[in-house]
Amino acid sequence: MREQFRPYTMVVGPLTDQTASSVTLVDTGGNALKCNYISIEGSGAGTGYYTASIDAPDLTTPLANQGTALEALGYTTSGFVGGVSRLNSGYPVEFVLADNDRSSTVKIQQATTETTLFFVTYGQVWTGNPLRDGDRPKGA
Q: How far are the Cα atoms of 8, 11, 64, 130 from residue 105, in angstroms, in the given order?
A: 14, 14, 12, 32
Q: Is residue 133 part of a domain?
A: no
pLDDT, position 45: 73
Q: Is residue 106 part of a domain?
A: yes
Count H helices and E strands in the chain, helices first. Answer: 0, 8
pLDDT, position 71: 57
pLDDT, position 5: 84
Q: Is residue 137 part of a domain?
A: no
List strand residue ranges (DSSP E) for 45-102, in order: 49-54, 82-86, 93-96
Q: Is residue 98 part of a domain?
A: yes
Asked if 48 and 118 touch (Cβ cutoff 8 Å), the reply is no
pLDDT, position 54: 84
**Separation of alpha carbons 19 and 42, rounded Å:** 15
- CA gyration radius for the chain? 17
Beta-ladder partners of 127: 3
Domain of residue 85, CATH code: 2.60.120.530
Q: Is residue 45 part of a domain?
A: yes
pLDDT, position 121: 96
Q: Is residue 110 part of a domain?
A: yes
Q: Is residue 31 part of a domain?
A: yes
Count: domains in the chain: 1
pLDDT, position 20: 83
**Separation of alpha carbons 115 and 117, rounded Å:** 7
What range does the domain containing 12 cover?
3-127
pLDDT, position 32: 92
pLDDT, position 140: 40
Q: Report the amino acid identity of residue 110.
A: Q
pLDDT (tens place) for every residue of the chain, 140 residues total: 577 888 999 999 899 988 888 899 999 999 999 999 999 999 877 778 888 988 766 665 555 555 555 555 555 555 667 888 988 888 999 999 887 888 898 989 888 888 999 999 999 988 877 776 666 555 44
